[in-house]
Structure 1
Amino acid sequence: MTHLTKTHRFAKIILCAGIIWLGAFQVSGQPTVISYASAAATVNPDAPAPEPLRRFAADTIKQLSANAPFTGWSAAKQIIEPLGPGTHSWLVTLSSGTSTSSAPLGYLIISATPDGDYKLVEYGLGENSLYAKPTLESGLAGLGLAKKTKSLPTVTPVYAGPVLAEWMVRAAGKSGPVHFIDALTGEQLPESLQSWNKQAASYVPPSSAAGSDQKSLAVAATTRHADLFDPYDNILWMAGEPIQTGADRFEELLANYKRLVFVTNGQERTYSIPLPIIGYQKWSAESQSSGEDAIYVLTGSDTAQRWIALDALKQSGKFVAYTD
């Protein structure tokens, strides 16, 4: 069992880890603030996705479906919906089957840049992937807001990077209290509307991720160096020194260490997350004019695998070695 399924353990330890790391590690510099729409703006979930976004999503799915474990994506149905107000991100959900009986196959998360391009921030697969409906239902039940309640809550999926994927829940319409639920575990988070708005305002799409402005990127098969593991099986990594993981060195470093732990930090964060890192997938440019190579690190659990843009994680924390 991996750390993503140990929800009670996650809730107790993650706050302690956050205190340790936020006190011991200072963030160098402040993130660039992009003047997107206000985080309090509304989102219309029924508005059609922009055509350039749809084309980029289709091209990305075609590229990924050429290799396992994404081969089942070639004939998948796609639903594109906005992720929260203000961050200009979208969730692309892939499923199979009929309209009355469909099985989830995976997802993409795409963010828009200030220049109007689109960046693939992360993608994944598994029955317990990000924003899975059963996880949301479990989280709502934990808040006492199950379906049987008289007043249904207002739920908005929000995203400000791979370590800030949450549901914003208003218990009783616009005037009700606001709660935040982790979009992967269903845990209630120590987040407020104020803390969320501060972090969302600083979200910057990863510059070195695969983008709509790069027309010739070849996707290689995923390279794995270890099996998925639970970072809490051995917490010595909490005292580890950060490892410099530039895109030009990441492949070599992971081949050497086999297993890494990514640890979130930041002055505005209200909780911390450790992610086990055991592999990567590389998107290679065919020529210099095609742009930079893009590295996506592999993390997650047996039921929720995630490939996250290396550049997106580097904005939000550090990597340390994991040892037995």
Structure 2
Amino acid sequence: MRKWFITLGGALIAWGLFWPTGTQALKAKPSLPAPKSIHIASGILQPAAFQDKLQQYIGDKLHTLSSQKGFENWNNAEIHITTLGPGTHGWLVLLTQRGIDVGYLVITADDSGMLKLAEYGRGGTSLFSPVKLYASMLQQELIPSNMSYTDFRSSPTYQSERYYFSALQSLWKVTVSGAGGEPWFLDGKTGEILPLTMKDLKAVIPAKENPSKANVKLSQPSSLLLPTFDPYARLPWVKKPALTYENFEDVQKRLNQRDKIMYTAEYWDRSIRYVFPVTGYESRPDETPYLIVEQDGLRYLPFHSVSEQGKFYKSS
């Protein structure tokens, strides 16, 4: 049985005061202490203690997921960990093989310091993939056509930051040194330009979770993965009422019947609408259930988060 060991660089001096920055490429090693419940209290923390807890949490999640069908290539992946921010109390874990994305995790922490798996994904393009950012900016003629990926990553002219407010409010902020004016904002998954300004970012109010839904955990493991479909073939949100789901089991039942379910949500003062085909679900004992949506790869999103922030429709 494969286990994980992750070494983290940087230091945490005080919760909410200073967070480690930068990215460090890491290799999975066959050692990890037995997983345990982790709670990081507010206040001053010893850097070593914090790193051990974060290491153990990430290692536990990687160990669990890599043993599941479809995640086998995570076992030999190179791991890259970077902070999300600024001020969002989160970490991005990117997994690659020979420079190709194979998956990702987003770990966040609440005000009390409790860590949680905000989302994860596999296949296609990973969330916040720097390769995708480069390709998108090249395609949209935001950078010179003759600029290589290596030059882009090392250039002091283009400074990129990852912002993660929620699963569907994840974006790149790219600042051009010496250019003045507003920075560019690009979707964290697709790399598409978003019509946003710094004023929009400052106005973001983090989504509040409904405790009654956030704490729902199932006792039996279950999973389902269905073929994807074109969510724009029909536009049910235009002329049909949204489906009403009281709980995860309601969605699970629909998907088990092979219904084509779509999920849609509006963000940024309703200026951007996201539409996804729901292609399955994943639930593990004593963990929150996740819905699977297709967006250039599979994204596993906590059911309680998406159900609070958007609506479901039947495609056919």
Give me the TM-score of the superposition, normalised by structure 1: 0.72
**Map of 1:275 onto structure 2:** 276
Identify which of 297, 307, 313 aligns with 1:304: 297
Higher RCO, 1 vs 2 (CA within 8 Å, ≥6 residues apart):
1
Query: 1:159 corresponds to which residue?
Result: 164
Q: What is the Cα deviation at residue 171 of structure 1?
A: 1.9
Distance 1:266 1:79, change over 3 A: closer
Letter of the aligned partner of 2:280 in structure 1? G
In the alignment, is the contact (CA less than 8 A) between 1:124 and 1:306 conserved in 2? Answer: yes
* Inter-CA distance 64–151: structure 2 relative to 1 (3 Å threshold): closer
Q: Does residue 1:230 correspond to 2:230, yes or no?
A: yes
Cα distance change, pair 187–132 in 1 and its aligned pair in 2 (3 A): same
Taking the TM superposition and a 5 Å limit, the aligned residue runs for 1:131-210 are: 131-141=128-138, 142-146=140-144, 147=147, 152-172=157-177, 175-199=180-204, 201-204=205-208
Partner of 1:319: 312
CA distance in 2, matches of 1:204, 1:87: 14
Question: Paired residue for 2:261?
Answer: 260
- Go from structure 1 to structure 2 and tell me whether the alpha carbon gap of 1:183 and 1:274 turns closer, same or farther (over 3 Å shift): same
Unaligned runs of 5+ in 1: 1-35, 286-292
SS, match of residue 253 in structure 1? helix
Over aligned residues, Cα RMSD in angstroms?
3.2
Q: Which amino acid aligns with 1:135?
A: K
**Equivalent-residue separation in structure 2 for 1:65 and 1:206 (angstroms):** 30
State the match for 1:115 in structure 2: 112
Percent identical residues: 24
* CA deviation profile, 1:246-270 (whole Å, cap 9, x unmatched): 2242211323462211111257343
* Deviation digits for residues 235-285 of structure 1 (CA, Å, limit 9, x no counterpart): 234322122332242211323462211111257343110011021001222
Distance 1:127 1:250, change over 3 A: closer
Are 1:64 and 1:219, in contact at CA under 8 Å, matched by a contact in 2? no
Q: Give SS of 1:136's match.
A: helix
Deviations for 1:80-108, whole angstroms, at most 9, x for unmatched residues?
11112122121101123xxxx44322100
**Secondary structure of the structure 2 residue equivalent to 1:315:** helix
- Asked if the contact 1:119/1:209 (under 8 Å) is kept, the reply is no
Aligned residues: 268
Instruction: Report SS of the residue matched to 1:107.
Output: strand
**In the TM superposition, what are the counterparts of 1:57-76 in structure 2 within 5 Å?**
57-76=58-77
Q: State the AA in 2 paired with 1:44.
A: T
Counterpart Cα distance in 2 of 1:264 and 1:143 = 29
CA–CA distance in 2 between the matches of 1:204 and 1:314? 12
1:126 paired with 2:119, answer no
Aligned equivalents of 2:116, 2:178: Cα separation in 1:
33
User: What TM-score, normalized by structure 2, do the two folds share?
Assistant: 0.74
CA displacement at 1:185 relative to structure 2: 1.5
Distance 1:219 1:134 in 2: 38
Q: Distance in 1 between matches of 2:313 and 2:242?
A: 5
- Residue 177 of structure 1 aligns with an amino acid whose one-letter code is E
